[in-house]
Homo-oligomer: A and B are copies of this chain.
Amino acid sequence: MVRTRVHNLLVSADGYAAGEHVTLEEPIGGAAALLRSFDGRVIHGVHGMDDPVTVDRALFSLWGQGVGAEIMGRRKYGPQSGEWPDDGWKGWWGDEPPFLTPVFILTHHARASIEFDNGTSFHFVDASPEEALRLAQEAAGGADVRIGGGPSTVGQLLEADLVDFLHIVITPIVLGAGVRIWDHLAGLEQRFSIEYVSTASGLTHQLWNRDRARQG
């Protein structure tokens, strides 16, 4: 079975998963406080870490396991809107994007694909989330597909009931404004089995596994 998975979705105590206005200076729209609790170094496992092995890191490091492709919204890829400017932009991540797989970026504006030496490639698709998911599943070659965000892309796939696994991390901060994660999703919990643990750092990890017994 191939899954569609969401990982490391950091959500504030008041339900925001990103800030309002993404700019070059503020990649997640002023909600940088969300990222303070996240140690990006662990997303490919606990290899070569000098620091303690914690429950947070074990859970964050699920991100890359068994994933063969990602889908992301345009706002996760960059701050531009409308036609792509000829500015050489290749995403926030420089020459070594951490994805190591094909990544499908949802946009209404076509653009040539970009490939990197480390196995990452960016493909720009004018498609519905459902169509993008079909493309990503094909590219993943039998592995799982990760929905990389931002929160509105995740929300669209949740609304369409296309997400099999969702890892939400509730962080004890109050943002007051931003992109809400739970809008249009009333009753979502009824489609999932949910496990949660709270860790020494003050985070609460929720693991939502879609309840297949209840599917048609």
* Chain A residues at the B interface, C-beta cutoff of 8 Å: 1, 5, 45-50, 52-55, 58-59, 61-62, 65-66, 142-143, 165, 167, 193, 195, 197-200, 205, 207, 209
Contact = CB atoms under 8 A, between A and B. Distances in A.
Nearest to A200: B195
A205 B66 contact: no
B195 A55 contact: yes
B59 A55 contact: yes
Nearest to A210: B52
Given A199-B195, A199-B197, A61 B50 contact: no
Given A59-B58, A205-B55, A209-B53, A47 B195 contact: no
A65 to B, nearest CB: 4
Contact of A46 (B49, B52, B66): B66
A69 to B, nearest CB: 14
Contacts of A142: 48
Given A47-B66, A65-B47, A197 B52 contact: no
B195 A54 contact: yes
The residue in A61, A65, A66, A200 that gathers the most chain B C-beta atoms within 10 A of its C-beta is A65
Given A54-B207, A58-B59, A209-B53, A48 B195 contact: no
Contacts of A65: 45-47, 61
Contacts of A62: 46, 53, 58, 61
A59 B199 CA distance: 13
A161 B207 CA distance: 36
A165 B53 contact: yes
A48 to B, nearest CB: 6
A113 to B, nearest CB: 26
